[in-house]
Chains A and B, each alone.
Chain A
């Protein structure tokens, strides 16, 4: 038992630190992707002969965030103002507890998951993911500024609206695999076929609402600073603003993980891996496969960001309530019908 505790602590430390480091470099990659899409070169200054291509940029960015003057306006309600970015980032981090980074099983000496075998894995991810709304709305409220407050309301309305199709689009997959445990869903996919094949509509809906949940273009109204006089974080500066930013990137990672796990087969590649392989090198290989899928997904999300224009707010709400929610209901009903037919036939 104590060994399990120490192992879990080590895993938490590893995951949190790696996630932060990865986020720092994701910002660098995003800037590079943006630059390339716009025929620029992107950050290439913060480097040295040993570290080319400006790869030290994230460190410079981080130093800047920490050293900048941290302005707290006199009219904000201080405790809530300081609490809001903390909520945003904590809500984003604790979702990683159930993400299987690699294979998990009772017979393995090492589980690539902080909390292995949680049979309500997805529910947990969604529950803590929706806590991010508190960060947004408290930040808008505590700023004591009408623009920030309106921005907070706007963003929370968006986040709540898109949570409905987000949740419903995965239910099809849950029904098919018959479990809410993420590793069970991956194992179902490696025995049968990838989720994207059996749930194409669900995949599309999840992708789109995932974009909206992470405030990425074309749904990034919460952060359109120039056009909408900022969002909920207008009054935040330095590291407090950085925490909102990090929180959003962590959400991007979580959503990419969920897409990879639910619809792209997790760590499964046909004819290469199977759930029966439990030797540790294969586990490591599976982890690499999963990571590559997640990375590919993140790159696609960035690619979309620098391609599509932003939605207008009424269009955004129309899309959620008039298209995506009905479509996800249709998808859910059809899937449950088919699953019922197959189960009663067998």
Chain B
């Protein structure tokens, strides 16, 4: 497009009026606005924040939090150690050591002997989740991820599988059928509504 193209639309910022250029009326208007907000919180109970430990924030269903490694219906890790997630990961924070699957697992050739995610390097982009051909890795809605040391934030296979156990009922696997609801899980209040 040439600079003198007639289709080109030129936008001009609105001209400041004399009052605007004197600053003071605008300053007064701004002060009035914050005063309204202050009065709203002080007298009208209009605060919009969540009081965290008492009220839990419920993230949207496609929120990307801590990872989990899904288990199949026999309780084995679903992952087939194909390395697609580790390849897709832009932060290079997935480390997988694959090994030949035992003979009793006829459905696959390999499984991860070790599966480590550095949750501190992860940027929670969800590429691993996208890449996985068997929906073994998923990002859950857990957001209160803390640790006292850096080592605690490096999640190994056991820990990732335990995240699955912790979130299985609240968040069914996204692309496969949810686990059958039992009376016990039915009674639990679901954090995801």
Q: Which residues of A are at the interface with B, using a C-beta cutoff of 8 A?
A: 33, 35-41, 303-304, 306-308
Q: Which residues of B are at the interface with A, using a C-beta cutoff of 8 A?
A: 27, 30-31, 33-35, 37-38, 40-42, 46-49, 51
| With known contacts A36-B41, A40-B41, A308-B27, A303–B34 Cβ distance under 8 A | yes
- The reply to whether A39 and B40 contact each other, CB–CB distance below 8 Å, is yes
- The reply to whether A307 and B31 contact each other, CB–CB distance below 8 Å, is yes
- The reply to whether B34 and A307 contact each other, CB–CB distance below 8 Å, is yes
Please give me the residue from chain A that is nearest to B36 by CB atom.
A37
Please give me the residue from chain B that is nearest to A218 by CB atom.
B27
Q: Which of the residues B30, B35, B37, B51 comes within 8 Å of A39, measured between beta carbons?
A: B37
- The reply to whether B33 and A39 contact each other, CB–CB distance below 8 Å, is no
The interface residues of chain B lying within 8 Å CB-to-CB of A308 are 27, 30
- The reply to whether A37 and B49 contact each other, CB–CB distance below 8 Å, is no
The interface residues of chain B lying within 8 Å CB-to-CB of A33 are 38
The interface residues of chain A lying within 8 Å CB-to-CB of B38 are 33, 36-37, 303
**Closest CB in chain B relative to A339 CB, distance in Å:** 27
Q: Which of the residues B34, B48, B51 comes within 8 Å of A37, measured between beta carbons?
A: B34
Cα separation A303 to B38 with both chains bound (whole Å): 9
The interface residues of chain A lying within 8 Å CB-to-CB of B27 are 307-308
Cα separation A41 to B51 with both chains bound (whole Å): 9
Cα separation A323 to B47 with both chains bound (whole Å): 39
Please give me the residue from chain A that is nearest to B35 by CB atom.
A303
Please give me the residue from chain B that is nearest to A41 by CB atom.
B47
Cα separation A306 to B37 with both chains bound (whole Å): 11
The interface residues of chain A lying within 8 Å CB-to-CB of B35 are 303
**5 closest Cβ pairs, A-B complex:** A36-B38, A36-B41, A307-B34, A37-B34, A39-B48
A-B contact pairs, 16 of them (CB 8 A): A35-B47, A36-B41, A36-B42, A37-B38, A38-B37, A39-B37, A39-B40, A39-B49, A40-B47, A40-B48, A41-B41, A303-B31, A303-B38, A307-B33, A307-B34, A308-B27
Cα separation A308 to B47 with both chains bound (whole Å): 21
Add 7 more A-B contacts to A36-B37, A41-B49 (CB < 8 A): A35-B47, A38-B37, A39-B40, A39-B46, A303-B34, A303-B38, A307-B34
Cα separation A38 to B46 with both chains bound (whole Å): 10
The interface residues of chain A lying within 8 Å CB-to-CB of B33 are 307
Please give me the residue from chain B that is nearest to A319 by CB atom.
B23
**Most chain B CB within a 10 A radius of its CB, from A33, A37, A307, A308:** A307
- The reply to whether A40 and B49 contact each other, CB–CB distance below 8 Å, is yes
Cα separation A308 to B28 with both chains bound (whole Å): 10
**Closest CB in chain B relative to A204 CB, distance in Å:** 9
